[in-house]
């Protein structure tokens, strides 16, 4: 592939138009050096971009109007107008308008990536409450994309320089979590995580740590039965399928001792169990990646930040890293596919058993 062929077209949904999403877009793509690695297509409207350009006075964003989504302008920031009507933008306000146009942007961008017009998707932050309607009943980006692409299961994976944390359950009430901690559910997530680490991150034999649900990982059934009845059997089955999965580990001691840095990824049982240590301990700029989709999707690891919207205070670091990560994963998938397009035939008698191939011990074991 030539450099031009490898440079992906990245679709950007703007998020809640009253939040910080468009400000992040302006700050990120005002640096023209990013055009050396991708061609961005922003799904919003010229008027909404120009509105926030007035508030971000210390940078300058130049862009082209894109009429044909299949023919973006190379080395240009492209704006694809998802709506033409006048919209009342009220920075910092939580209202139906912000949610409605966030959904317009997301749906337009997602359909473009599904049709193959763009190669990866970076989503701006939305608010899960004001996007709700008869047409959009999803609790966030992840379940929406899961249904759109018709996949059985996906995995919310938080990524930073020193850690990757996947979630068994995402945005569900705490009282409902235990019912979702099942052997089958855990095993599905482990398989997705292992395949993503190989295909999307180039890790040939990934090591995966699995956390327990209960304090002290259940203390062998004394504090809850989920570890003994569901989590351990799932880990055992994963190992039988040649997946290097270990645990379950007590979540508090695991992160406190820095054990997360000894693994390629960690599977947490629920949102706060994974996100609190991630946001506390992650080095560099963290991002959210959806593993298990046929397309690449990333997003920043924060929300709409209504409290600072329209004040030129938003930090674009995580959003910019989301763009970089989308490009990296896109190129890694190409390399993964190329490496396996014409595999050498395996020599008879050359297959080693798992134990002969590599002996893996759990930390402290």
Per-residue pLDDT of the chain (365 residues; tens, 9 = 90+): 344 457 999 999 999 999 999 999 999 999 999 999 999 999 999 999 999 999 998 888 999 999 999 999 999 999 999 999 999 999 999 999 999 999 999 999 999 999 999 999 999 999 999 999 988 999 889 999 999 999 999 999 999 999 999 999 998 999 999 999 999 999 999 999 999 999 999 999 999 999 999 999 888 889 999 999 999 999 999 999 999 999 999 999 999 999 999 999 999 999 999 999 999 998 888 999 999 999 999 999 999 999 999 999 999 999 999 999 999 999 999 999 998 876 655 444 444 444 434 444 454 44
What's the total number of domains in the chain? 2
The predicted structure's pLDDT at residue 260? 95
Alpha-carbon gap, residue 195 to 14, rounded angstroms: 30
β 39-44/287-291 pair status: unpaired
- Counted residue by residue, the chain has a size of 365
For 297-317, give one letter per residue: b (16+ CB within 10 A) or e. bbbbbbebbbebbbebebbbe
Query: Do the Cβ atoms of 178 and 213 come closer than 8 Å?
Result: yes
Same domain for 135 and 242, yes or no, is no
My answer on whether 58 and 170 are in the same domain is: no
| 1/83 same-domain check | yes
H/E run at residue 123 = strand 120-123
The last residue of a domain, from among 292, 325, 355: 292
What pLDDT is recorded for position 344? Answer: 58
Residue 361: per-residue pLDDT: 47
- Same structural domain for residues 20 and 144? yes
Both 280 and 248 in one domain: the answer is yes
Specify the pLDDT at position 341: 79
Which residue segment(s) compose the domain that 57 sits in?
1-150+294-365
122 shares a domain with 9: yes
Tell whether 29 and 82 lie within a shared domain: yes
pLDDT (0 to 100) of residue 164: 97
pLDDT for 343? 61
Domain-ending residue, one of 258, 273, 292: 292
In this structure, are 132 and 262 located in the same domain?
no
Supply the pLDDT for residue 362. Answer: 54
Question: Do 215 and 278 lie in a common domain?
Answer: yes
Q: How far is CA 114 from the centre of its chain?
A: 17
Radius of gyration for the alpha carbons in the chain, expressed in angstroms and rounded: 22
Supply the CATH number for residue 235's domain.
3.40.718.10
Candidates 180, 153, 158, 145; CA nearest to 270 is 180
From 250, 274, 292, give the residue that closes a domain: 292
Task: Scan for tokens 């930390």, then name that residue.
Answer: 363
Residues 146-150: contacts with CB under 8 Å, at least 24 apart: 146/292, 146/293, 148/110, 148/114, 149/114, 149/293, 149/294, 149/295
Do 12 and 61 fall into the same domain?
yes
């Amino acid at each position: 592939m030539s450099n031009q062929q490898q440079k992906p077209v990245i679709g950007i949904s703007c998020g809640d138009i009253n939040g910080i999403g468009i400000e992040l877009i302006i700050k990120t793509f005002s640096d023209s050096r990013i055009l050396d690695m991708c061609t961005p297509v922003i799904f919003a409207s010229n008027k909404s971009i120009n509105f926030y350009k007035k508030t971000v006075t210390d940078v300058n964003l130049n862009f082209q109007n894109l009429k044909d989504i299949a023919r973006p302008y190379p080395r240009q920031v492209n704006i694809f107008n998802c709506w033409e009507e006048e919209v009342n933008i009220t920075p910092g306000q939580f209202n139906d308008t912000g949610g409605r146009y966030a959904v317009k942007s997301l749906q337009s961008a997602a359909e473009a990536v599904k049709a193959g017009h763009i190669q990866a998707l970076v989503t701006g932050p939305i608010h899960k409450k004001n996007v709700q309607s008869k047409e959009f009943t999803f609790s966030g980006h992840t379940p929406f994309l899961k249904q759109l692409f018709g996949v059985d299961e996906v995995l919310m994976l938080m990524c930073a320089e020193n850690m990757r944390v996947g979630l068994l359950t995402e945005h569900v009430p705490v009282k409902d979590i235990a019912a979702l901690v099942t052997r089958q559910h855990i095993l599905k997530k482990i398989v997705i995580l292992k395949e993503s680490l190989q295909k999307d991150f180039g890790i040939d034999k990934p090591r995966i740590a699995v956390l327990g649900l209960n304090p002290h990982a259940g203390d062998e059934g004394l504090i809850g039965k989920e570890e003994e009845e569901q989590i351990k059997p799932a880990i055992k089955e994963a190992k039988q399928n040649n997946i290097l999965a270990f645990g379950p580990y007590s979540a508090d001691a695991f992160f406190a001792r820095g054990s997360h840095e000894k693994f390629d990824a960690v599977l947490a049982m629920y949102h706060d169990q994974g996100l609190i240590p991630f946001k506390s301990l992650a080095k560099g700029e963290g991002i959210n990646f959806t593993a298990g989709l046929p397309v690449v999707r990333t997003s920043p690891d924060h929300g709409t930040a209504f409290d600072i919207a329209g004040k030129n205070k938003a930090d674009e670091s995580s959003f910019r890293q989301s763009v970089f990560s989308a490009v990296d994963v896109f190129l890694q998938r190409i390399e993964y596919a190329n490496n396996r397009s014409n595999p050498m035939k395996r020599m008879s008698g050359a297959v080693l058993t798992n134990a002969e191939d590599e002996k893996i011990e759990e930390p402290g074991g």
